[in-house]
Amino acid sequence: MEKLVFNILNRMYCLLTNFRQKPLTNPPWNSRHRRRNLLHDFEKSIFLHCLDQISERSQEREEEEEDEDLWSCLGPLEAFLGAGASRQLRVNKQAAVVAATRNGSWNLPAARSHSVETLHITLTSISPPQSELGPDRHLWIQGNGDFGDTFSSKVTWELLRNPAPIVPWSPVVWFKEHVPRNSFIAWLALLRRLPTRDRLRRWGMSVPETCVLCSSGIETHHHLFFECAFSSSIWSFFASRVFPSPPADLHSAASWIALHRAPSSPSANPLIKLIFQASIYLIWKEQNQRIFKAEFASGGTIRRSLDRFLRDRLLSFPTRNPLDPSMLEFYFTCIRPP
């Protein structure tokens, strides 16, 4: 994975096609580059290889290495055109890119194969090296495919990852007022990735299948959130006071929250999301406490914990308009402490 990221970063760090000058900066992820202060230019970039020949003298030996310099989107031309590339293009195998130009223009023989014709077409979009264009610059590929001077970790991540469609419950998990630990557990629950007993048994572990909270149902994600009578007594107690008829099912509840886009108060949406996430977090925490520490809390204790959490969290959001109630004031209009 580390090598993959390195290769992609290398490919994102591209040489702007000027002439014979040092880059403004060296690739920051590669200590070898920093140490050597490399020259990347069309006088050193080998036309057919897409490689730089780099020499380093040390006291003991002279070391010869190669670095990728993808000056053409076709990649190494020897690989693209085959073994006869040098003969077809009448370019020496070790010739630099600048050797394929004359008087500031590309200078190659007429195309006699489809591959060479493709190369000719590609070269029309690549400016040949010209000294009057100034020093070489290294640029980062930006999100829209253009090049820029700045590195963005966000753009890099977007280029590295394989994006999946945005799930409809995404805004229920990730929102401005969220608490990271609660969002994380809610996210895992909605993906059905928490190690519930039904999953542990599918993995071959010898554990009871009964829900540790109610001792009657089979412990699955949907049972825990919120078909279980114990869980439902926590979730429904708070949720029903913000919006009527909260569903007793995890994904239905997430959709139900997402559908309430125009509530009576702007505080209602973040409040119901906080209740949703904190309910999942505290229920999952209680399940763990019972299994691993043999400590049992009642539904009333969990509700008081949730009430305390919500008050502390909402206290940190002052009202934007002095005439509007704060989120904490809105909470007190909805919910009488358990």
211 interacts with Zn ion by CB under 5 A: yes
Strand locations in 107-185 (E): 137-141, 147-148
Residues 214, 258, 297, 334: which binds Zn ion (CB under 5 A)? 214
Whether 201 and 212 have beta carbons less than 8 Å apart is answered as no
> CB neighbours of 191 closer than 8 A, spacing ≥ 6?
none
The residue type found at 114 is H
Whether 177 and 273 have beta carbons less than 8 Å apart is answered as yes
Residues 23, 128, 129, 217: which binds Zn ion (CB under 5 A)? 217
Nearer to Zn ion, 23 or 217 (CB): 217
- Residue 177 token pair: 């007022």
| Beta pairing, strands 62-68 & 45-46 | unpaired
SS3 96: strand
Nearer to Zn ion, 42 or 225 (CB): 225
85 interacts with Zn ion by CB under 5 A: no
212 interacts with Zn ion by CB under 5 A: no
Q: What are phi and psi of 302, to 5 degrees?
A: -65, -40
Residues 12, 15, 50, 213: which binds Zn ion (CB under 5 A)? 213
Nearer to Zn ion, 228 or 257 (CB): 228
248 interacts with Zn ion by CB under 5 A: no
302 interacts with Zn ion by CB under 5 A: no
Q: How far is the CB of 294 from Zn ion (least distance, A)?
A: 17
226: preceding bond cis by omega (within 30 degrees): yes
> CB neighbours of 73 closer than 8 A, spacing ≥ 6?
122
Nearer to Zn ion, 129 or 217 (CB): 217
Q: Which stretch binds Zn ion (CB under 5 A): 17-25, 66-74, 118-126, 216-224?
A: 216-224
SS3 174: coil
228 interacts with Zn ion by CB under 5 A: yes
Q: How far is the CB of 228 from Zn ion (least distance, A)?
A: 3
Q: How far is the CB of 289 from Zn ion (least distance, A)?
A: 15
Q: How far is the CB of 273 from Zn ion (least distance, A)?
A: 24
Nearer to Zn ion, 267 or 279 (CB): 279
Q: How far is the CB of 214 from Zn ion (least distance, A)?
A: 3
70 interacts with Zn ion by CB under 5 A: no
Site for Zn ion in 118-177 (CB under 5 A): none
Q: How many whole angstroms separate alpha carbon 328 and alpha carbon 310?
A: 8
- Give the interface with Zn ion as residue ranges (CB under 5 A): 211, 213-214, 217, 228
